[in-house]
Structure 1
Amino acid sequence: MKKNTTIQISEVAKRTIAMEAAAVDNLQQYINSDFEAVVELIAQCAGRVVITGIGKSAIIGQKIVATLNSTGTPAVFMHAADAIHGDLGMIREEDVVLCISKSGTSAEIKVLVPLVKNFGNKLVAMVGNAGSFLAQEADYVLDTTVAQEACPNNLAPTTSTTAQLAMGDALAVCLIEWHGFTAGDFAKFHPGGALGKRLYLKVGDLSRQHPVPRVQPESSLREVIVEISSKMLGVTAVVGEDGALEGVITDGDLRRMLEKNIATATVVAKDIMSRHPKTIQQDELAINALEKMRQYDITQLVVLEDKHYLGIIHLHDLIREGII
């Protein structure tokens, strides 16, 4: 293998991206009646989508399986080589089989296809050769033909696998819209990690983890300072006897008051509170709290249930949970 140290790296990279972008754009001509029929077939399927393939196509198949499962369409992966050595047993009567192959003529594919057809399952081919064995034997064809690979030898799967991936995404997105799959549905399948928390974690889930700082309108300055200090949130709510929020006092409010040389002996909470604090309802998503904090350049919000004070949500809560 002779090294070529004179290549223009950036030019090669740009050429590769341009070729793959062109291959994906070219797929639009293959969105036809077969594609529409496959979307309807899978959407109405009582079973799962069993996706199979060999080599790099198998890897693309695994990604498509993951995308379908995470967006509400049950799918499983079956490696074409393993299928003919026992894994065919995973195919159920009500399943749809999607076979991915660039050439459509691999030895494993030629063995597998007749076996699937004998089971009576609908067979969908995602194939880069419309005249191939796989395309001819399939009930439906998703054409992913590309002009050439980005590989300079036109050998390593590059544009072809990119086209397969894009076609799989097109299929998945159509199914998302068919089923009316929402962000809330997505959250059910993604409860872990920052993404899941953005979709399901509520403001109240975080505010309940804190002590709830509160004083009354007539509370003394000393009581206000002790409450802010002991609850360690840098703020306390001023709450009436009916539990309704009347205002808030932050440590910043205390500093500004002291700078004015006000006689503190007679100061009570209502004298220094901010009467129109930024609030958020407890059943809102935590990500909405982050957006509101960014909008007003603040680090905490007062949490309410209607007008009733419940607690405080702080920027640190969002950082700790990985929302940011």
Structure 2
Amino acid sequence: MSGPAVVTVRRAVRAFLSAHEAHLRCGELFVAVSGGADSLALTEAAAHVGHRLDVRVNAVVVDHGLQADSAEVAATAAQAALRLGADDARVVGVTVSGPGGPEAAARKARYAALRRALPAEAALMLLGHTRDDQAETVLLGLGRGSGPRSVSGMRPLDAPWARPLLDVPRSVTRDACTELGVRPWSDPQNADPRFTRVRLRTEVLPLLEDVLNGGVAAALARTAAQLREDSEALDALAGELYSRAEQRGELDVAELAPAPSALRRRALRRWLLGAGVRELTDAHLRSVDALVARWRGQGGVWLPGNFEARRSRGKLCVSIGDTAETGETGQPTTRGD
């Protein structure tokens, strides 16, 4: 007989998969396994539920190679996944490098490796993010002033990424491993105060729980869900605005100008992402929005990747490179900052 924590995790996975049955038609399900409590509890639940749905469950372990015993840790995690019911478990190695610090570089390498492990577009990769991870993500977004999109946290489904445990506390996954007789691996980096998320987990959230008499993680997760619903509604309205304004890759200022700024910026974000601009910040979007809302004949706005957004003859256009352009008045513009 399964213990209460194991049952809780299984119920969360069953509810998630029932809500997204279309993604199970390929007959396979993938689970990202680190060897920690969250991913091991998720693996057991995915195997338990998946096999009843006649779905093959595959575990994928990413070896970041950042510690001397990383290969051994990865192999142990793969073996644990098999014991917990996974039909297959494989280890993929990655090289961690690039800008943004080791935490960001490791995350980028990990997600790239997990995506490569998926054989079909319809297949899902289950991730073991819990309610506590969601609360940490919301706090990070608040601290960075990244706006509602960031504060709305992680989506339960952002295909191919699937997060069935966002309503499950981290304590439950730990208890589930105890009930299963599994000893999870504890990543030493999860206790390293050099990492912002670690300090949020070990210092900030416990302090908030103490000062506000508990329930903070759950409240932050609820706030994220509410903001996500609001953002999705605004995104839908912004999509309609974008469709009206878009003309062969440019945007008609006359269509954009009367719209609320929140919708305009969302339409602009969709336009710029579609043009290939990445790493957009709120400051970037507000600067481009000024070409609509506060037009004074100013020059274009430089964006990441050497893109320039500018206004010309009642249209917004975006291009790459170093070119002199003609502004609304028909005169060459000087670039903005």
The TM-score by the shorter chain falls in which range?
A: under 0.3
How does the TM-score come out when normalised to structure 2? 0.25
Bigger-Rg structure (1/2) = 1
TM-score (norm. length: structure 1):
0.25
